[in-house]
Amino acid sequence: MDRSWITSFAWSIHEKSDTQQLLLGTASGGLFTLHLSSDAQVVLQHQQFQSTLGRICYIRAFKKLVVVGDNNGLVHLYNLSNNEGGLFLLKALWLRPDRVGTQYVELTYCFKYDCYFIAICKGAHLLVWCMPNSKNDPWLEAQLYVGGTKITGLSALSSNVFALTTARQELKRVELTLSMSNKQTQLSLSMEPIEIEDCENYQLLGVFCSRHKNLLSVLQFRNEESEVTTALARHATTIRLGKLHKSSALDQLSVVLEPNKGADWLIPKGTEEVTQETRKLEDTCNAMDNEQEPVAAALAVLKPKRSHCIDDKGTTRLNNEVWTPDVCTKCNCYHGQVNCLREKCSEISCPPGVEPLTPPEACCPHCPQTPLITLSGTL
């Protein structure tokens, strides 16, 4: 295989497997799956699959699902077989060759609706597919125009809530819901803006959520160089950090657990039904960190870092400045927050007849040294 033909790649990691899989896309539309050892040093086997796509420019893997996009704007969804190592086409997610490349893709599994959500960003449009876990349920599709010229970032906050940034300096929250209308299930998208203070002079380059879905980071780049005096500051990227609120894990378990069924799952009956339910419970426990409902208002804590502090006496302190209000206290300024550390004095016990003293330059008392008695004279 000519290395110059490799145009995209993605890792497919399975926690319960001792091997790793590397997916490669080529300029001719070919897809390769490489089974590697646990240390990724040895190629155990490989498979080749020729797709109907053009030059592969995007690959994203999630569990057994693989999303692939080409330079013509087409997007396909494949199923990755662990045993055979092959790729099988499940559905063409984007059929129109608009020559708009795939920018971002997020795949999640929602226990609440028992389906997979596949969010695709192309330009300023967000396309979401709902892939049912049951073969009898239909696939659902919904699109949303977020405004502006393009989407600059996409991240999953939970299984059905996403955060995205746009080229118009906007941070938005998108929630996916399934509802019944005329005895048919419909997929709907709702979007609301999240306000970020003091971002008029910045471009939003991307948004990222932490692994445990409790922190959100937004990348910014200054767009007005006239206000910056140094070349280093003009090319600096600012990161704003926000905290996401979580819901109780017991609420998430109640979605899957049925009354009086938990104890039966622990009985090894050997039936296929019990095995499926046990695996479902295991997947639920492993996904508790991913299945959380963030509060939109919590994203408003994304504030810029300040370069000074105000102490308790009203004095302005510069960033990283250290000062001592008294002999027992040392304070420092860190991005608008004053942090003080006060020395704690331990109990002391002086010899009989000796009183502890506290010198003016010290914080804690100590026992003074007993003066030595010297004798002088001649016998």
10-residue mean pLDDT series, the chain (379 residues) = 79 71 91 86 87 94 93 94 75 91 94 93 94 89 89 94 91 92 88 82 88 88 61 73 64 45 35 41 46 42 63 85 86 84 82 82 77 38
Query: 232, 229, 233, 206: which is closest to 217 by C-alpha?
Result: 206
> Do residues 324 and 331 make contact, with C-beta atoms less than 8 angstroms apart?
yes
pLDDT at 15: 59
> Do residues 66 and 23 make contact, with C-beta atoms less than 8 angstroms apart?
yes
Q: Spell out a b/e string for 192-206, using b for 16 or more CB atoms within 10 Å of the CB, else e.
A: eebebeebeebebbb
Second-level CATH architecture of 1-98? Beta Barrel (2.40)
pLDDT at 25: 94
Query: 176, 15, 209: which is closest to 109 by C-alpha?
Result: 176
pLDDT at 265: 31
> Do residues 220 and 199 make contact, with C-beta atoms less than 8 angstroms apart?
yes
Strands (E), 111-249: 115-122, 125-132, 140-145, 151-156, 161-166, 171-181, 184-194, 202-209, 215-222, 237-243
pLDDT at 142: 95
DSSP 357: B
What CA–CA distance (Å, rounded) separates 233 from 51?
46
Sheet of strand 125-132: strand arrangement = 104-110, 115-122, 125-132, 140-145
pTM of the model: 0.64
The position carrying tokens 């767009």 is: 223
Domain ranges of the chain: 1-98, 308-342
Q: Does domain 308-342 have CATH number 2.10.70?
A: yes
